[in-house]
Amino acid sequence: MSNDWAVWSVKQMAFPFMNEIPPQPGSLPSLAHALGAVPEHRQLRGYRKEAPPYPLVPMLLLLLIGVLCGRWGYQSIADWAADCAATHPEVLDALGCPRDRRRRTPVAATLVRCVRDLCLHPFQEAMQTWLSETMAALHLTQPAAATAAPDDQITIDGKTIRGAAARREREAGDPVAGLHLVAAYVPALHTVLDQLAADNKGQELTMAKLLLGQLPLRDRVVSGDALLTQRDICITIMDGGGDYLFPVKENQPALLHDIEEAFSPLTLPPVGDPPLLDDQQMRQIQLTLPDAHGSVAQEPAGKVRHGRKEMRTLWALSSAVLNAYVGSSGTAEQPWPGVAQVCRLQRVIQTKDRATKTWQTTVELAYAITSTPATKADAHLLLKRWRAQWQIENGLHWVRDVTFDEDASQIFKGQAPLVFAVLRNSALPLLTTLNMPSLSAAMRHLGSQPDAVLTLFSRLVQRLARCPHQSGP
């Protein structure tokens, strides 16, 4: 990307915690350098020589730090910057804020003009590239957890920025207009790889196809909800060198019917009994699928959360005979492309009745297909991948809605809602590195101690330095 900075924006202060780190193994990529690729979009005229326009990169860094500290609006971020100038000027020095005859910080109107017309795509690309490199390097320094999401998984889903959409509807009669975002999320890194804006939820499938064309799919496993269980999407993923894992529901009736028939000889165990896939059961399946092989995995019920607990059991079945015809009874009259295994998931959900103090049990069944062969993914790994798919809802969308209060935000003009969506996406993985009880606690910590922002980035550098075999990004 070209660098269109004006002369005044090149002559900036140093960014000691971001771009004075030497480019050696374990170093932190320079965020300031990455944001330097964002072209200047403002009309630079009518300013005094002694008070030139505020540089773009420090303003973008102030916006990011403001979101990290729990500031949601322009005035709130401007107030934070002014307070910081009075009490912790070293933070503004680190961000590269100018020091002329007196300390200057941008006012709310300046932030509005900056964000409203910002060149979104270069900004989004710069932030996403920096975060992907940083979080991937940090992930290598952490011990692998048994419950962690697989490193190679990408989940795709959409979310509407409801607060901005409602405000646009009141102001201009255009309720969504580009405010439905389809994101590709890496659960293991808590990082958004890329996202595209659609005019409405009805265009989510179209945007998902475009998004897949932009992602590095080789050796990745893509998962999503049943909307993405489409033949052309599966072909696109495989053509890119990746694999897929998608649930099968009523939107693909022929495929669902064939999978249910394949699992029909396999009876469900009584609730609470361990899952079985013994020789007798396999012989029943092999009467219709002679080459069938299977595996089973169970995730025991965990702690009671919100008055309920769940136990999940997954059966995976691989058969070349089944793969040759599964889904062919539908209108396409062709087997589903690339299927290597079919899955059945049993959820046993126990809900406590507050009146009687007894547990009510319900059983749900769900089905899925994957192009990953059994030699690369057994039932245990497939169950982990299925669970990881929901982290885009719980770990990204819910956090933006509740922790970052996105749906209540009234910022709606121009590119502003999308710019703040990128800022929230960027703040999420950075806050997780603090290892605090919750993201809200992490934001309160940074908000009450502005100099803790410098400590946050310093710790990132220290953690990377403890990984001697990691090559520099």
Q: What is the per-residue pLDDT across 19-63, written as a single tens digit (0 to 9) for each?
A: 333 333 334 567 888 999 999 988 776 666 666 788 899 999 999
Residues 312, 297: Cα–Cα separation, whole Å = 8
Which structural domains are found in the chain, ordered by start? 7-132+433-465 (no CATH), 149-398 (3.90.350)
Q: In this structure, are strands 221-224 and 243-248 parallel, antiparallel, or unpaired?
A: parallel
Residues 60, 84: Cα–Cα separation, whole Å = 16
% of the chain at pLDDT higher than 70 = 81
Query: Is residue 172 pLDDT above 90, yes or no?
Result: no
What confidence tens digit (pLDDT) does each residue in 403-414 have?
999 988 888 888
Band of pLDDT at residue 11, cut at 50, 70 and 90: very low
The answer to whether the Cα torsion of 29, 31, 32, 37 is positive or negative is positive
Residue bearing tokens 């420090």? 58
Band of pLDDT at residue 466, cut at 50, 70 and 90: low
Residues 470, 473: Cα–Cα separation, whole Å = 9
From 134, 191, 198, select the one nearest 161 (Cα to Cα): 198
Instruction: Note the pLDDT of residue 80.
Output: 92
Residues 62, 64: Cα–Cα separation, whole Å = 5
For the segment 356-384, the average pLDDT, to the nearest whole number, is 92
Query: Is residue 214 pLDDT above 70, yes or no?
Result: yes
Instruction: Note the pLDDT of residue 357.
Output: 77
464's CB contacts (< 8 A; 6+ apart) are: 26, 27, 28, 137, 138, 141, 470
pTM: 0.85
Instruction: Note the pLDDT of residue 471.
Output: 35
Residue bearing the bigger pLDDT, 112 or 330: 112
Query: Is residue 234 pLDDT above 90, yes or no?
Result: yes
For the segment 98-126, the average pLDDT, to the nearest whole number, is 88
Q: Are 106 and 82 in contact (CB under 8 A)?
A: no
